[in-house]
Amino acid sequence: MTLKIVLDPDAGTAPYEQLRTQISELARSGALPVGFRLPTVRGFAEELGLAANTVAKAYRALEADGVIETRGRNGTFVAAGDAADRHAAAAAQEYAEQARRLGLSRDEALSLAQDALRAAYGSG
């Protein structure tokens, strides 16, 4: 299996974020199966024409999100489980609790969350 990543230099998104997003989506969709070994930071950077620090930053973000796991010298692998769902649910729970503490009504909190989602995903 070959990891197909396409970076758009004209996009308004940083290369590390494009890389992070694409790997995350591939892992979530199952296109990258659990246990799939990702390329080394240096090798992947060379393949993509990026600085090693850019790939390392994407890998760190993916690991923080629970999408990948590093097993020392054995390499970096797609992690098991639905880490993205767990992280999103925890963030949503934290938001809901904070909105309630701030005295927002359910409708106000929902409206603010929807505005944030539109800003992040676009209005479509």
* pLDDT digit string, tens, across residues 86-115: 777 778 889 999 999 999 999 999 999 999
Q: How far apart are CA 106 and CA 76, in angstroms?
A: 42
Share of the chain above pLDDT 70, in %: 95
3-state secondary structure of 37: strand
* pLDDT value, residue 124: 57
- What does the pLDDT look like over 19-38, one tens digit per residue? 999 999 999 888 999 899 99
Q: Is the pTM value of this prediction over 0.75?
A: no
Average pLDDT over residues 14-22: 96
